[in-house]
Structures are given as C-alpha cells and as structure tokens.
Chains A and B, each alone.
Chain A
Amino acid sequence: MITLLKNGRIYDPAHHKNGVVEDIYIRDGRITGKPAASEKIGQTFDLSGKVVMAGAIDMHSHIGGGKVNIARMMLPEYQQKQAQEIKGLSEPEAHICTPHCSHHATPTATDTGFRYIEMGYTAAFEPAISPVNARQAHLEMGDTPMIDKGGYAMLGNDDYFLRMLAAKKDQKAINDYVAWILHATQAIGIKVVNPGGINAFKFNQRRLDLDENNVHYQVSPREILQTLSRAVHELGIAKPLHVHCNNLGAAGNFATTLDTMSASSGLPMHLTHIQFHSYGTEGDKKFSSAAAQIAEALNKNKHITADVGQILFGQTVTASGDSMMQHLNARHANPKKSVIMDIECDAGCGVLPFKYRDQNYVNALQWAIGLELFLSVEDPWRIFLTTDHPNGAPFTSYPHLIRLLMDKTFRNDAFSKLNLDAQAMSNLTSLDREYSLYEIAIMTRAGAGKLIGLNDRGHLGAGAAADITVYTDQPDREAMFAKPDYVFKNGELVVKNGSVVKVVWGVTHTAKPAFDMGVEKDLKDYFDRYQTMQLDNFKISDDEIASDGHGQVVVHHNSKE
C-alpha cells in the first residue's frame, strides 16, 4: 500500500529542503519516489500548510539501565506527587510543562516511549551503558514501546582497558577490545565518562584533571581520550567518541573542557552536556559563565561536536556514571539523598535528586549558560538539543526549550525573572539569535542522525525509514512542538493530535565493526581470574533482544569513506 502525504511544507536539512511544499510517498514503511500513475494510492493525508520533518532523534537521553532504575526506585514520593499533580493539570505549567507533560524525570519504560512519540521523537539513545549492565539496559529499552533505541557503551574506567593502556598495548589490540565491547553490549557508540576518574575514585582519588595520572595505572585522562578516540575512528564507527569531560559541575571546569578539545589530536570527538562543563570562577560567588570561551572554541574546532544538556527549573534527578563527581556533589542533593556505586571493576554510578531553582544564583546561571551556548555556537550541525534527560530536565521539556531558542521575547521574559545576581553575570539578552525551523530540524533530526550514523533516519529522502512528524505551524513554538498533528513510525500512523493511536515497537540500532576474535583469549583469562561471571554470559545475543517478540537488532555499517 502506498501512503501519500500531500502538500506539506518540508524541512529536510539533509536534502537542503527549507520549507518547500512537496508530496511524500510511503511504501512498505519507507519513503519512496513518486509511484507510477497506474499505482493505487492507499491513503492520502492532506498536509497543506503543515510543517513536516523527519521523526526527531534524541542522541543523549538516559532511558534505561541500572542508574535510571535506581532513580525510579529511590524517588517514590516524587512520583506520587507527580501523579497527584497530573490529575489537576490542564494548562501548561508556567515554566516547563505542556498539557501532555507529566514533567516526570523518572518515567517508566512504557511512559518513556509514549512521551517521546507524542512529541514526534522516533528514536532515543541511552548514552551511558556500563558494559556489565548492558543486559539490564536492553531489557528496559526492550520494554520501551513506540521508538527506536540504541546506546553507547562506557569504556575508559574499566580495569581491563586501563591495564592495556598501562601495559602500552598497541592500538590494534585496543581497537579489537573496543569492537568486541560494541558487539558484546549491542551498542552503537563508545562513551567515556570522567576519563580515568571513576576508576581513580575507587583508589580514593577525589578529582582528576586532564593531565593528572590515575594513581594506580599512572595513565592520564588525555591518554585515555587519545586512545579511545583513535580506536573509534580506526574502527570506522560513525558516532565519534562520546565524552563526558573530567570535572563535571565544578567551577572553573571550562579550562578542562577547552583542553579536552585538543586531546584527540584532531580526530572527531563529541563533548556531551557541555553546559555542565562551561563554568568559570569569576565574580563574587566564584561561579561564572564561560559559555563564550567554550562556544568560540567549538566554532573553531571543527572536529568537535557537542550537545548542551540544558537545565530547566523544577525537580529532577541526576543519574550519572560519574561516581567521583556525584559523590562530591551529593551535598547539593535535594531532597538530600544519594545512591553511589562502584560497579564491577567496570564503571560506577551516582544518582541524586536535584531541584533547579530560578532564584538560586548557580541554577539560574546554569540555565543562562546553556542558552548562551545554543545561541553562540554557529553551526547547528555540530550542536545538539538535549537536557541530558533527566539530569538537566526531563525530555518532556523539549518543546519549552525549543521555544526558548526560537522566541527571543519569550526567552528574555523568562530571563528577567531569574535571580538578579545571575542576570548580572550573563550576556544572554545581548544574543539576538532566534533558531529557525530549519535549524531545529538540523539539531533534532538531520544532525543527530548523521552523528550517530543512522543512514536511513533523520531525513526524508527516498529509501529512508518513514519516521515522519507533522506539526501545525504556530507562533507558540512550545505548543507546536508539544503536540504534533501526526507521527508516522515506519510509515504507520501512530500518533494523531498528540495522542498514541497505535502501539508499535522500534528496533535497537547497533554498530558491529570487524575485529580479531583472538581478543577473547586474553579476555577469557581475565574473566576467569578476576571477574565474577563467565565471558560468554557477558555477551548479549541478538536473540535476547528479539526474544520477547518486540525487539530487533539493526546493524549499521559505517565504514569510513
């Protein structure tokens, strides 16, 4: 059957289409060229005047795995309060929420899928899968309906890798291990969190700078970043190394962030939730915005991409692999509780609830820093729209964030209500930029799809999966992006007027570069001697992901051109 989407205004940056009126044809779940006149059109949607984009892709959102579930488990009172508030909520809540938004930082797996698709998002990527915990992450994502999923496996704090690095194993051996991890964990990218720092915390180090050595292994974060970014590059994985820099959240950390940009010697790297890494030490409170310096460096360093990790005000929870910095920040938890874990000679985690308040100097400035970054980074192909869900704010606040980017008056009004000291320390109102629909489509679709290497997603060209979102053009961009008219997933109409009309199950996107299976010889010995599970059970099979009848593994081949 052929479905025709007629006369929509197409925003498809991958094909340089900026609001042109065109028809889209869908056949067997994919976008296809105009069929022969003899072929029958099964159904037609008249999209005259409507805005049409590919389904949005969240390239960084904590949607599954141990620390997400810990966050759910440790905050029953928050969920109960939310449930009460939703009942009486008909108007968008002043700061953040949309009528659909429970503003829920810890949605269940089911709700995660529903809330995403209701906003026109058709894929989300869990950015912090610790390899030993990958099975749980996939089980949770397997219970997440409506959207496609995928994840980045964390390396760089695992003792196996650090031993290799300390022993000066050659790059090929490292590459084989990295590729093996991608296969074993069913991931599409590699992430490093506080390179070397999570491991150093287990040796009682409390901070680790870029050129400071892990006391046990005597290797530095810079060496870890060099080696891993090279491995990712040489393996031909599309997704650049995903880097959560050292010194998250610390005043003055912008210097570390600037230095980190040079650590890959020009190879691609993605710096994630960069807002949390753009802090200076100026002013009476020794906490200031370094967004200008970071944006300038991003504009100059074309090999670096970044997502923002915008904060928005309200109650949320921060769930991070960065046990070192989360332990340090636990005193700021609100309500005051924290779960910190050392995990299996592999990783760590730290989960603390957080309440961002607009009258708090630091929080207000964090809000402004994020927006300063969005508005000062020139190339929308290299900056991505995230709240680091749930760390900066729940993903359900994206429509609000989009309005802040597209509507200067709305933004400046919000700014004028912030803590006055914070206002004095930000140049936000001098930034006149307003994002266009085309730029939003780049950040949330074309750019994200390209960055991750999803060749058939994030665009509307022939052959692409028919993940399509249709909006009514409205001056209130928050209302517009909160409630699409239609969302199509693989060509099927799944959302109508912001509500799910059909439940579907997405796939799991992975990358599986070739490697030398000989790597398992040493790994087997390592597992037998030091780990507490068998090597074979560490690996997740395709069948495990498909076994419930919903899931399916899709492998993306992204050999370098």
Chain B
Amino acid sequence: MNNPNHNATLLNATCPACGLLCDDVKLGTSPALTLQNGCTKGIAFFEQAYKSPVQASPMLHGKPADLDSAIHAAAEILSRSKRPLFAGLGTEVLGMRSISSLAKRTDATLDHLHSNATVHNTRTMQHGGWLTTTLAEVKNRADVILAIGTGITDSHPRFFEKLVWNADNLFDKPTPEVIFLGAQNPGTQSLGAQDNPDHTATAPDGTEPTIIPAAITQLPEIINALNALLNGKKPAAGHIAGIATNTLAALADKLKAAKYAVIVWSASALKYPHAELTIQSITQLVNKLNESSRAAGLPLNSGDGDTSVNNVSTWLSGYPTRNRFNHGVPEYDTYHYSTEKQLQECDALLWVSTFNPHLPPETKAPVIVIGHPGTSLGATPDVFIPAGIPGVDHAGQMFRMDSSITLPLKKLRDSSLPSLSEVLGKIEALLPAGVKA
C-alpha cells in the first residue's frame, strides 16, 4: 500500500469485507491500489477484487462459453432437478432477493456458508431472545467491553479504532475498559493506530486490556460461574476452569458497576457442539445486569453477507437460512437443511460466492457456480458464471453486523461482469412455467 495522499482521485467505497461495513473508506486505483481508512481485511478484499478481471468468460465443463449458453445450461440443470441445494449464498440484499425467487420456483434448500456459526445465534434468539445493541451505541455509551472467546480484530479489524478509542463521544465517557475472556489471539492483529504487534488491543494512551486466558471449551463453565456470581452465589471452589474465582468475582463486579457494559461474542469462535447454550448463558448475563444497570450484547457476524441473506430470507419466506421451499411453501430446519446434510440428498448444487472466491464443496450432483471472477476452481463444475463483485463491479445494499443498518454498496469500476441478480433473473425466465409450483 502506498501513501494514499498522492492519489488524485479517490472513490468513496463501502467495504463489505466484514460486518462493520465501513463506509468511510476511500479507494485510489491509480497508479496502485490504495485505501484510506482501510484495514487488513479491507485491503485484502479490494486487492483481490482488483486483481480479478472485469471481463471473464463463463465456463461449461471447463471450456469457455458465452453467457447465454451458460445461463441456458444452468436453467437446464435446475429444471431437471427435484431437490436443488443453493449454498454459499455469499451475496447482498438484491442478490438474495433473486436467490429467494429462484429458490421458490425450483423448491430449493437454502444454506449460507457461515450458517454453522450463525444458527447458534438465531437459535438463541428464537429460544429466549436477547438484549442487544448497535455500533453507535457502543461508540458513545460503552464504558466496559467484555469480549468472550474472540479477539474481535481478526474478524472485525477496525472495531477498536472506530468504536472504542474514538476521541469523540456524546456523553464524555472515559475510554472503555476492555476485557478479553478466553479470547483467541486478543489483539494480535495489527490495527494501525499503534504499531505494536504484541499489544494491539492496547489503547492509544497506553492502557492495556485485561486478558483472562481460558480454553474456548471451558467458556460454558466460566460463563455459568459468572452468572452464579451475578446472582449473588459464591462458588466454594477457589478456581473455576483454571481461573481464580476472585478474578471472576472482580469481573462480575466490574460489569455491575458499569453504566453501559457491552458483551461481545463471536458464534464462529465457539467451535463445539451446542454452542447456542453458551450464547444463551451470555444473554442471561446481559439480562441479569439489566435488572439494575444497563448492559447489552453484541454478536459479531461471520461475513459473506450473512446478515443480509438472513434478513432478506426472513422477510421473503418467513425464515432465515437454513430453510427450503417445498411445493412453494417455505420450511425451516437448522439441522436437516445444512449444506453438509443436503449434499447427500441434492440432485443439483448452485453455489454462490460473489464477495470472495470461496470454492464449492464436493458433490456428485451437477454443480453451477456463480461467483467471484477471481475464483480458481479445483474440480470443474458443470457451469461457472463469473459475476460482478458487489460494491466493486455493481451497486448493492448490505446489512451491517448489527442488522439495524443497511448501507448502499457502490459501483467502483466499469465492468462487463453481470450481477448475480441479472444472471439469476435470466435463469428463472428460462424455467418452464409453473415448474413444481
């Protein structure tokens, strides 16, 4: 990356690389790619995008083909299919509208590539609900931030720069105290604000975060102990999951004393069965705190448009992913409609990944890939249609991680790549009328 100030023209961009959806990003493309207000993920995203061609040929069985032929071939596969699986689903709002429409027409099953993580959050919300907050509330109100099982910056690099170390806030609050509980690599990501790779969750004024190490799999025990402490119970044991009970008691007191405590977690970090039970325990912490003071949860998303896809799917079908259409009627099942399970059942796979060149899983069924123009396919799919990258090749609408905010993605370059919606619209138009309706 060069010094961006040397660039004559900078493009205002909204960066879809993570759920923070930073819209203060300015992109220079000449002579080299530069990014103002960028981060490691943003830079990687735009570099990958700009390395990819603006003109790319669709492929049929590995051989170049024109777009019309590819679309006809895809429509042919879907018309023959009785149980297609639409997976990946790396797209934004407008793309998901088209996916949903085509899915209804073809009785498809829908699963997003990050559902393994996301369903832990949705199931928690569906089971007991939760009390959550959004980014501007964190920025202006949070005085204590507890990050559970996540260092935050790996997945959301500018979190601290934008929301924690902000010089301005509405209520003259101090810089929040940050506590990492069982975080993997807290602050190992270079954040730019302070060039100190070992202590990058260190505030610009030198304040160190508190780090309470713990194995991810011990989080359930630790969070239950915190709940007990908040409910006035004193565990007899001196240590819980290797952590001194006093340390946890001090943490509970800190949360209680906070004016606005924010508890951050990342479902994708909780890689063990029934992680939704841990998330439920976290939401109980928040509920308990709110009996006397204010606190809120903040679930981090996993990426590739997961928040957009689940919101759009919900208002169009009534359900987030994992869902399907059965004779046009929407159905929901987070267990059975997983990509993993459906790969054994499906007779066609439509794999969509427009933000990143993620590869489709292996299957014996015919495969259609509509994806990032930089996708380098290993196994040869029946149909590959390179599509425009949302927020680079065409405009779009995208949900931020906190769901409350939807922002426009901008078209940044001239491109002859069709958008996902254009491709799917044409495929749908070719399907026989009333197919399986």
Contacts and interface: CB of A to CB of B under 8 A. Distances in A.
A339 B125 contact: yes
A337 B128 contact: yes
Given A83-B329, A342-B296, A108 B318 contact: yes
B129 A74 contact: yes
Interface stretch (A227-235, A428-436, A525-533): A525-533
B375 interface: no
B217 interface: no
Given A216-B171, A344-B134, A73 B405 contact: no
B127 A337 contact: yes
A109 B296 contact: no
B405 A533 contact: yes
A241 to B, nearest CB: 24
Interface string B166-188: 00111100000000000000000
A534 B14 CA distance: 10
B170 A143 contact: no
Contacts of A344: 134-137, 402, 404-405
A342 B134 contact: yes
B97 interface: yes
B411 to A, nearest CB: 12
A470 B24 CA distance: 53
A201 B295 CA distance: 11
B365 to A, nearest CB: 28
A500 interface: no
A411 interface: no
Interface residues of A, number: 60
Contact of B23 (A68, A333, A533): A533
A128 B67 CA distance: 44
Interface stretch (B248-256, B308-316, B376-384): B308-316
Contact of B315 (A69, A135, A327, A341): A69
A537 B407 contact: yes
A375 B131 CA distance: 39
A414 B294 CA distance: 44
Interface string A62-92: 0010101110111111011001000000000
Interface in B109-131: 122, 125-131
A338 interface: yes
Nearest to B421: A548
A153 to B, nearest CB: 15
B125 A530 contact: no
B260 A69 contact: no
Contacts of A204: 259, 293-294
B332 A76 contact: yes
Given A76-B319, A344-B136, A344-B405, A336 B128 contact: yes
Contacts of B128: 336-337
Contact of B126 (A76, A139, A203, A537): A76
A346 B402 CA distance: 14
B194 interface: no
A106 interface: yes
Contacts of A536: 12
A422 interface: no
Given A109-B315, A143-B97, A530 B134 contact: no
A140 interface: yes
A202 B137 contact: yes
B293 to A, nearest CB: 6
A530 B169 contact: yes
B320 A73 contact: yes
A379 interface: no
Nearest to A130: B404
B404 A531 contact: no
A110 interface: yes
Nearest to A330: B129
B48 to A, nearest CB: 24
Contact of A343 (B137, B163, B406): B137
A491 to B, nearest CB: 27
A136 B294 contact: no
Interface in A317-350: 327, 330, 333, 336-346
B404 A132 contact: yes
A340 B290 CA distance: 11
B107 to A, nearest CB: 16
B168 to A, nearest CB: 4
A121 B333 CA distance: 34
A133 interface: yes
B316 A69 contact: no
Given A72-B314, A73-B310, A73-B314, A544 B134 contact: no
Interface string A179-205: 000000000000000000000011110
B333 to A, nearest CB: 9
Contacts of B317: 108
A140 B407 contact: no
Given A342-B296, A532-B136, A534-B24, A544 B316 contact: no
B93 A139 contact: yes
Contact of A531 (B14, B136, B397): B136
Contacts of A339: 125, 129-132
Contact of A69 (B93, B122, B311, B331): B311
B94 interface: yes
Contacts of B130: 339-340
Contacts of B135: 344, 532
Contacts of B330: 108
A422 to B, nearest CB: 29
A83 B93 CA distance: 26
B140 interface: yes
A159 interface: yes
Contacts of B332: 76, 79-80
Contact of B404 (A77, A337, A341): A341
A106 B331 CA distance: 15
A202 B141 contact: yes
Contact of B129 (A140, A143, A337): A337
A216 B141 CA distance: 12
A337 B127 CA distance: 7
Interface in B153-167: 162-163
B80 to A, nearest CB: 27
A50 to B, nearest CB: 33
B405 A132 contact: yes
Interface in B211-267: 259-260
B13 to A, nearest CB: 11
B408 A544 contact: yes
Contacts of B259: 204
B399 interface: yes
B403 interface: yes
Contacts of A136: 311, 399, 404, 406
B318 A135 contact: no
Nearest to A83: B329
Given A133-B404, A342-B296, A74 B125 contact: yes
Nearest to A352: B129
Nearest to B167: A529
A69 B134 contact: no
A337 B14 CA distance: 35
B81 interface: no
A330 B94 CA distance: 35
Contacts of B163: 532
16 contacts: A66-B404, A68-B315, A69-B315, A75-B126, A79-B319, A80-B332, A109-B316, A133-B405, A133-B406, A159-B170, A202-B137, A340-B129, A341-B131, A344-B136, A346-B136, A532-B135
Given A135-B397, A139-B406, A533-B23, 4 more contacts: A108-B318, A339-B131, A344-B137, A530-B170
Ordered nearest first, which 8 A-B pairs have the shortest CB separation? A337-B129, A529-B168, A135-B406, A338-B129, A340-B131, A532-B135, A344-B136, A344-B134
